[in-house]
Chain A
Amino acid sequence: MTDEEIKAEFPIFEKRSGKPFHYLDSAATSQRPADVIEAVSQFYYEKNANPHRGVYELAEQATESYENARQVIAQFINADPTQVIYTRNATEGLNLVAYSYGLTHIQKGDHIVISILEHHSNLIPWQRVARAKGAVLDYMYTENGSGKITDEEIEKRIVPGVKLVAITQVSNVLGIVTPYEKIIARAHEVGAVVVVDAAQSAPHLSIDVQTLGADFLAFSGHKLFSPLGIGILWGRKDLLEEMPPFLSGGDMIDSVSEQDAVWAPLPEKFEAGTQNAGGAVGLAAAIHWMNKIGMDTIEEREAAVYDYAWEKLHSLPHVTVYGTGEGKHVGAIAFNIDDAHPHDVASILDADGVCVRAGHHCAQPLMGHLGIHNCCRASISVYNTKEDIDALCDSILKVRKWLGYES
């Protein structure tokens, strides 16, 4: 597919044509293809009712749409649909595991291990579990702040006594793919349960929960071409079955008496309250769209632009790019410009229609590990082109002048 053909799939590029628009913030949230927007509209136009709560035909259609979407999503990660739980986003999925599993299984003195690369969503829930239970939270650090977690580090931190390991597959700041396979294997060697944060990986890499071997995996739809407000938690069946519910209320019970309740089977046990069926339909449509384009095509296109951006940013004067170039990267590239605060950079780039994120990227411990307070982040998705990177670099070259530095 040509660049134009891919862009044409996303109505926002047409809507914003006429002025420069270089969307390099897909790690925050992606754009949505027309297929997704139309599928969501169609649900609300034609099939809208409260899923699982009506016996009339329309309600059954709503339920069917919602459950068919689950099948599509299950196939996408090669899972059994009963283990595919709808959430609002990755954050909710990770919190569900922390509260329902963590608080009931982690004991005083146990160790929880995460990496220094984690997003706050895969970090604060574990801080809270550790604090509530008197457990210890340990970190796997990267070699000299390079973003690389070495084998020695994995072996040194994941030792007997560690009961839970939570790891991202891809850093939302550095774009680096973590050695999650080794981490999962090592965690299982010492008897720890593994929680995988797939928020930044699911949009870029194929996921197969059968071969991955993790115990829990969470991601957000909105980073994967879907509407805001829908996400997925997948979990090992035996664990999900014995875990208590996270939220309780409507839809998650089999029967309720005045003093007691019997939980519904999986996955409803974890889906309390009226669900985001429109979002579920949108996520399924996004997966269909990704399959239509082809995961290989997506990976190839992104890799070409990512490598180009990596090289070009390294060649610019007064620009520091963070992390090693070694190993596989997808999505994000983090950088700073000498003497320029990332928020000024983002405002100046915005004037050229270049959208990047600036700040700590919900990864403050990582910022500390890198020896910075904040940085800029450009992130690349399937619709980005080398022209977007050229616009980014041209705009970067203007930043210091705007701020009053001679070059």
Chain B
Amino acid sequence: MSLNQIYTQIITENSRSKEHKHDIDNPNIVHDGVNPSCGDEITLELRVKDGRIEDASFVGDGCAISQASASMMIDLIKGRSVEEARHLADIFIGMIKGTVTDPEQLDELEDSQAFENIRHMPARVKCAVLGWHTLDEALKEKEEQKKN
């Protein structure tokens, strides 16, 4: 695995970006995600209204890969419906697991396709999916609450 397939310009730039790293106003979903392999934690904040993600952000510290992945995820899901966001999470996690390989589907991830090669670096897979897993859990939890 060569480093320039992982630490690409797009990933390192996003890892340093603070654009989505802050608290948002009146979030109605706040969910913590932990990477058990290093103890890194992020908190995802979402404001969902009428099934649409109006605003989203994250806070927390982590490695370049987890930070970039979370930041690029926010870029992608902001303004989307909850269903679309969950669909994208499935594609992203599938891409990392190697179960989603169809280029058309991968295109839906836009810049986040840049993480495809993390698959070849098993020790870092958890870093790349931290944000997406947290999103998936947060939205699932919201759904459960609605049902009850």
Contacts A341-B64, A343-B127: A403 and B15 contacting too (C-beta < 8 A)?
yes
Q: Determine if A358 and B12 form an interchain contact, defined as CB atoms under 8 angstroms apart.
A: no
Interface residues on B, range: 20 to 34
Q: Determine if B63 and A341 form an interchain contact, defined as CB atoms under 8 angstroms apart.
A: yes
**Which residues 361-407 of A sit at the B interface, judged by CB distance below 8 A?**
364, 373-374, 402-404
- Selected from A344, A359, A360, A374, the residue in CB contact (under 8 A) with B64 is A344
Contacts A341-B64, A404-B15, A404-B16: A374 and B3 contacting too (C-beta < 8 A)?
no
Q: Determine if B38 and A343 form an interchain contact, defined as CB atoms under 8 angstroms apart.
A: yes
Contacts of A348 in B (CB 8 A): 3, 7
Chain A contact residue count (CB 8 A cutoff):
17
**Which residues 91-120 of B sit at the A interface, judged by CB distance below 8 A?**
none
Q: Determine if A343 and B124 form an interchain contact, defined as CB atoms under 8 angstroms apart.
A: yes
Write the chain A residue with the least CB distance to B2: A351
Q: Determine if A374 and B15 form an interchain contact, defined as CB atoms under 8 angstroms apart.
A: no
Contacts A343-B38, A364-B39: A373 and B3 contacting too (C-beta < 8 A)?
no
Q: Determine if B15 and A347 form an interchain contact, defined as CB atoms under 8 angstroms apart.
A: no
Is B28 among interface residues, defined by CB-CB distance under 8 A?
no
Q: Determine if A374 and B38 form an interchain contact, defined as CB atoms under 8 angstroms apart.
A: yes
Contacts of B13 in A (CB 8 A): 404
Mark A330-361 against chain B: 1 for CB-CB distance below 8 A, else 0. 00000000001111100110010000001110
Q: Determine if A373 and B63 form an interchain contact, defined as CB atoms under 8 angstroms apart.
A: no
- Selected from A347, A358, A404, the residue in CB contact (under 8 A) with B3 is A347
* 4 tightest Cβ-Cβ pairs between the two chains A and B: A404-B12, A341-B63, A343-B63, A402-B7
New contact pairs (13) apart from A341-B63, A404-B7, A404-B13, CB-CB < 8 Å: A340-B64, A341-B64, A343-B38, A343-B65, A344-B63, A344-B64, A347-B3, A347-B6, A348-B7, A351-B2, A358-B38, A360-B39, A402-B12
